[in-house]
Amino acid sequence: MTLARALFAPRAVALIGASGDAAKNSARPLRFLRKHGYAGRIVPVNATRGEVLGERAWRSLAEAPGEIDHAFIMTPGDSVERALEECGARGVPVATIFSDGFADAGAEGAARQARLIARARALGVRVLGPNSMGVIDIPGRLALTVNAVLEADGLPAGTTSMVSQSGTMLGTVLSRGAARGLGFSKLVSVGNEADLGVAELVELLAADAATQVILLFLETVRDGRALAAAVRKAHAAGKPVAAYKLGRSGLGAALARSHTGALAGEDAALDAYFRDCGMVRVDQLETLVEIAPLLAGRKPPDLARAARVAVVTTTGGGAACVVDRLGMSGIGTFAPDSGSPIVDLTMKATAEQYTAELDRLLAAPDCDGVLAVVGSSAQFHPQLAVEPIVRSRKSAKPLAAFLTPHAEASLALLAAGGVPAFRTPESCADALAAYFAWRSPRTAPAGKADWPAGLPKKGRLDEAQALELFASLGVPVVEHAIARAPGWSHAIAYPVAAKVLSAELLHKTETGAVRLNIADRAAFDREVQTMLGRITAKAILVQRMETALAEAIVGYRDDALVGPLVLVGAGGTLAEIYRDFALALAPVDEDEALAMIGKVKGLAVLRGYRNLPRGDVGALARAVAAVSRLALLPGRPVAEAEINPLIVKGDGAVAVDALVAMKE
Amino acid sequence: MTLARALFAPRAVALIGASGDAAKNSARPLRFLRKHGYAGRIVPVNATRGEVLGERAWRSLAEAPGEIDHAFIMTPGDSVERALEECGARGVPVATIFSDGFADAGAEGAARQARLIARARALGVRVLGPNSMGVIDIPGRLALTVNAVLEADGLPAGTTSMVSQSGTMLGTVLSRGAARGLGFSKLVSVGNEADLGVAELVELLAADAATQVILLFLETVRDGRALAAAVRKAHAAGKPVAAYKLGRSGLGAALARSHTGALAGEDAALDAYFRDCGMVRVDQLETLVEIAPLLAGRKPPDLARAARVAVVTTTGGGAACVVDRLGMSGIGTFAPDSGSPIVDLTMKATAEQYTAELDRLLAAPDCDGVLAVVGSSAQFHPQLAVEPIVRSRKSAKPLAAFLTPHAEASLALLAAGGVPAFRTPESCADALAAYFAWRSPRTAPAGKADWPAGLPKKGRLDEAQALELFASLGVPVVEHAIARAPGWSHAIAYPVAAKVLSAELLHKTETGAVRLNIADRAAFDREVQTMLGRITAKAILVQRMETALAEAIVGYRDDALVGPLVLVGAGGTLAEIYRDFALALAPVDEDEALAMIGKVKGLAVLRGYRNLPRGDVGALARAVAAVSRLALLPGRPVAEAEINPLIVKGDGAVAVDALVAMKE
């Protein structure tokens, strides 16, 4: 019995703690399994009753006959541990635990969960949960869940599967899809992910013949490396993975943390992570419901330029709502052979004309996709536009539809025809933007880097050491020397900058430990004395003064969730205030670094903004790539590093200020 | 017969060009009027038939008997003009023109429209359109429209009215509302607004006893002053006005322009304008459908601090979707007497507990509103949460609901109970953000300003004149003098800046017409000679060099759509790239200027960002208020003006560079 079969296609399920009161949550799995036609054996376990909702029940799992493939544990408190022991004793391969009070309930609960999972490992029982709402397989008729959405009749089967860190949101997506004919295959609520996590489930779904598209509802990412590997496997299997991720605002991130006990990551880092492993990220919740037909059977478009969508509409205002929104994502719209951004057929097209127009647009060169906006005919006259859309020639280019009125029958027609169709202009534009931003999983540049002999591997490097490390990776660094007491001599040509050399001293500028533009030796001696009057130091870092066309910040962080990241931004306080930077998973090559630089608005000054002199963008890109090679150091000892500023000149770039902090 | 009665409650309507073919658009008004139970007299006019869809028809309006209150003109081409003449001859007070080919069809069409409207004025006929889809009054059973949404049966009546620049979007909003029990009163498609425009219709609806909330779907603003006045009247009558406005991206703006022939305004200016006159602006289309119950009977909250919403939920994930989004709008959420941002009752509350919790939250101090998020119970067990919400004690504080599953019956229950309810987390957060950002119409500060004697009122002022104008309004300007050939003498203490004085010379810095930091007389003479080597000039503006804690830009523009605007932003290229500025309608007082400054991220450096020295924010605010008084000059002669930079110091602020351009 494979894990996938035990999870999704068990021949027998035990319902531990099944209630005889049909109104209770713990009666739901039995009711739902029956209602949706589960073909296997149901084994209710109830400590006090011999019968549950008309089904023979057992006092304990030990007493129940036959082989059990999957146990669903609903009992409160310590009885969970007892139930797990019984699963182990009976050789049950998988237990889904609905009971809560584990990592979802503070430090004590987390410790209890750790003990439970250690015991499960020893017993050889895989665990979904705790705090999981269960597992659903619509075509397989398995409704092993407490999720009330299963009260619905006739949920449509499909080839979209979903893994959710929120059990209730499974029901949301399922119920909204069902209302408009969008069917699902397997749906899993992972709860606390104590054992089986999102990553392993994505891997199972990547190998699942009944799954074409995988949707994720994420509150956090618990095992970044494993999830990235699983998403890459799904890509290799031709199965797109799309995610809705909470935590875009600080408030949402705090809530995700407090709600699930999980650590929430910085949103921009997660964006870089999703892009890197080839995941599609949606912004609006309903896009998650609607996007599957846009992705099914498609590969990432990997566009190297801004996307262009041809638009045909029977409502000028309705089309404008989407076009306006697409423009905010940098997506252009056009009508072939016309200067207009749309083909407006309001109140004038027959079905034949509409079909001809669709064919023309799908065949238009430089067209990356077609958007059909349908007005009131979608509600009352589907033959005019909706049916031609369903019948249109299938093309590698996506054809998406936005229906402006309330038109569920037409949405269902489009769903049945496999046409991506959207209820709101916002989710339509969101889906198209997410699709066109979709990239194949990235192959990080190969290579290795060596730790310079003699540099400490703990704590914080002093600035001379930090410059040495960056230079060893290929970053051009400012000409510098160390002046020492008592003579403070050095060989750097004036004007120079002088900084107290100390790994401990942070915020050097604010504490007066930095002096710039020192014109000559006499001034240098004065400045050194002034600094030493405030700060005890044995060494001073002397640097040649450099003049900048522009200043950049280049950073590196080995993120606990997503791994090593490289950052580039414009230098200075304003850029910091605007949080104007680009992030990518490290290492990156020079081309990738150039693409990052292109996303930083403030670095427009380097690209010849308003006749300002152009800076050496290539040198900046090489420096970013060099910094990103911190990720290639054996054992990845660096926790955080930053060059701020990296001075960009008309010819070349040079690091003048550097920080490096080790993990230990 | 008042205009309102002729438009919305005509005793007899003439349908000019009514088709006898039921499938044609021009047959719709007759079909719809009958279907929805119009109680007045229907007078079809058809040049070739004596009968239309079983109704007696006349060859021309002249032949038709009785008084006609409202004519609906659908005939093509030149016959529109003939029909209008007939309306004039018969004393028809209002003609709605569905026919297109006017301002919607290029310059020739615009000229034709101008002639048509001139004739209508002469005849005393008010015109709705051309290119209007008509007028609907649901409680009044008037369906004088070609909009296919009227094919629907039993559209619910309500107290929300709507004016739309897109005829098809009327149908969108009406059909989506109807599907969930949100009723409407009057709906008007204004088409090209050649005569009756959005402003006049808002004014009519403000006076309409059957209207409580006014919705606008806008592609542009055609008469900013009239619309602002109308929205203020609606406010005075206790009727909130909410608008969805296209054109947030350049693409959408271009489309709005090409689609309607209207001039699209800059989005940020329109934002300032909407806020100023007390309008609520929504971002998502569905918010326009859903927001009315949140606004009905309420006044602008006029909050002086960030809003705080108490949240109760039966789905942690569903609540997090809204909370995350609210956080992006700066709205905080909280659970009273708890450190958590939400009250999570997932799978544990009875209806009684839920009711008690709602009462507790609505009564909580420092709570500006309550958000109830309901999970699957909204679909299957409305008695658990939805019904307690409907029964909850009505409070001045808004109580809004977001339902996560597909739950139309519950949405209708909430609509019937007057509870604002939302289908998506995005529209829910959008509506709450729009509500909390809602301000009462602003009373602009009174006062007058005089034009300094001797300054020209045409073209462009030279910089000395510009500084004089700003000084006359109360802006502190840099100490300056004019040095003239041949001696170029001046009395400004060194170091100084020198600029060629010329109204024609733009981009002085780029063309070498500005020299900074001139240390002494000898250097000054050298710099003057260098400048004169390139540029012919008779006068040089000499200014004392000022050192800045921060630089700001203060601008003014008399906008064609919305009137005089004042702008404040951070100085420098980066701030320009980030478009980091605040806009308001001019004039503003010092407090309003302070609030504007608070919205400019880049001016955080003045507020003591990261231990940087604080700047004189008050002096900056006084300067912004002074610049805004350009709007008080008699005749408002100034088209555009700018101080860039305004140097902000620890004590005081001073304008060092000024531009002023007149309207003529």
For residues B46 and B64, give the distance between their C-alpha atoms in angstroms, rounded to a whole number: 11
Contact A149 B376 (CB under 8 A): yes
With CA atoms as reference, the chain B residue closest to A284 would be B426
pLDDT band at B253 (very low <50, low <70, confident <90, very high): low
Which tokens is A76 given?
A: 């409160």
Res B326 pLDDT > 90: yes
If we measure between CA atoms, which residue out of A93, A174, A92 comes closest to residue A133? A174
pLDDT band at B193 (very low <50, low <70, confident <90, very high): very high
- Predicted pLDDT at A336: 85
Res B276 pLDDT > 80: yes
If we measure between CA atoms, which residue out of B55, B10, B58 comes closest to residue B34? B55
For residues A79 and A101, give the distance between their C-alpha atoms in angstroms, rounded to a whole number: 12
Res A264 pLDDT > 60: no
Task: Name, in order, each residue with C-beta under 8 angstroms of A304's C-beta and a sequence gap of 6 or more.
Answer: none
- Predicted pLDDT at A537: 82
Q: Which residues of B touch A405 (CB under 8 A)?
A: 149, 171-172, 175-176
Report the DSSP pairing between strands A280-282 and A241-245: parallel
For residues A471 and A477, give the distance between their C-alpha atoms in angstroms, rounded to a whole number: 6
Query: A622 with A479: CB under 8 angstroms?
Result: no
> Which of A151, A259, A605 is closest, CB to CB, to B320?
A259
Q: Quote the minimal CA–CA distance from A259 to chain B in Å.
A: 7
With CA atoms as reference, the chain A residue closest to B575 would be A574
What percent of chain B shows pLDDT beyond 70?
Answer: 96
pLDDT of B60-77, one tens digit each? 999 999 999 999 999 998
Tokens 């076009």 -> residue:
A323
- Predicted pLDDT at A463: 94
pLDDT of B101-131, one tens digit each? 999 888 999 999 999 999 999 999 999 999 9
Opening angle at CA B421, ends B417 and B423, nearest 5: 140
With CA atoms as reference, the chain A residue closest to B608 would be A573
> Which of B246, B250, B342 is closest, CB to CB, to A320?
B246
Res B16 pLDDT > 60: yes
> Which of B323, B333, B574 is closest, CB to CB, to A602?
B574
For residues A354 and B524, give the distance between their C-alpha atoms in angstroms, rounded to a whole number: 73
- pTM, entire model: 0.94
Task: Give the number of beta-carbon pairs within 8 Å between A and B.
Answer: 276
Q: Quote the minimal CA–CA distance from A217 to chain B in Å.
A: 9
Rg (CA), chain A: 30
Contact B166 A315 (CB under 8 A): yes
Which ipTM score applies to this complex? 0.93
Strand partners, A72: A15, A96
Q: Which residues of A touch B318 (CB under 8 A)?
A: 166, 168-169, 172
**Lowest-confidence range among A434-438, B255-259, B354-358?**
B255-259
- Predicted pLDDT at B263: 36
Tokens 């599957």 -> residue:
A292
What percent of chain A shows pLDDT beyond 70?
Answer: 96
With CA atoms as reference, the chain B residue closest to A317 would be B166
Query: B375 with A168: CB under 8 angstroms?
Result: yes
Contact A323 B252 (CB under 8 A): yes
Q: Quote the minimal CA–CA distance from A445 to chain B in Å.
A: 32
- Predicted pLDDT at B2: 96
Task: Name, in order, each residue with C-beta under 8 angstroms of B324's C-beta and a sequence gap of 6 or more.
Answer: A246, A247, A248, A249, A251, A252, A253, A255, A256, B425
Mutate to test the interface with A, among B374, B577, B578, B605 (most CBs of A within 10 A): B577
Q: Quote the minimal CA–CA distance from A324 to chain B in Å.
A: 4
Q: Which residues of B touch A219 (CB under 8 A)?
A: 317, 320
Res A104 pLDDT > 70: yes
Residues, chain A? 664
**Lowest-confidence range among A456-470, B261-275, B572-586?**
B261-275
If we measure between CA atoms, which residue out of B83, B90, B65 comes closest to residue B6? B90
pLDDT band at B258 (very low <50, low <70, confident <90, very high): very low
Contact A375 B148 (CB under 8 A): yes
Contact A379 B217 (CB under 8 A): no
Q: Quote the minimal CA–CA distance from A114 to chain B in Å.
A: 23
- Predicted pLDDT at B186: 98
Q: Which residues of A touch B165 (CB under 8 A)?
A: 317
Contact A341 B251 (CB under 8 A): yes
pLDDT of A481-495, one tens digit each? 999 988 999 999 999
Task: Name, in order, each residue with C-beta under 8 angstroms of A356's C-beta and a sequence gap of 6 or more.
Answer: none
Q: Quote the minimal CA–CA distance from B618 to chain A in Å.
A: 21
Res B259 pLDDT > 50: no
Contact A172 B609 (CB under 8 A): no
Task: Compute the mean pLDDT over every residue in chain B, rounded to the nearest whole number.
Answer: 92
With CA atoms as reference, the chain B residue closest to A572 would be B574
Res A260 pLDDT > 70: no
- Predicted pLDDT at A262: 36
What percent of chain A shows pLDDT beyond 90?
Answer: 81
Q: Quote the minimal CA–CA distance from A510 to chain B in Å.
A: 8
What percent of chain B shows pLDDT beyond 90?
Answer: 81
- Predicted pLDDT at B664: 79
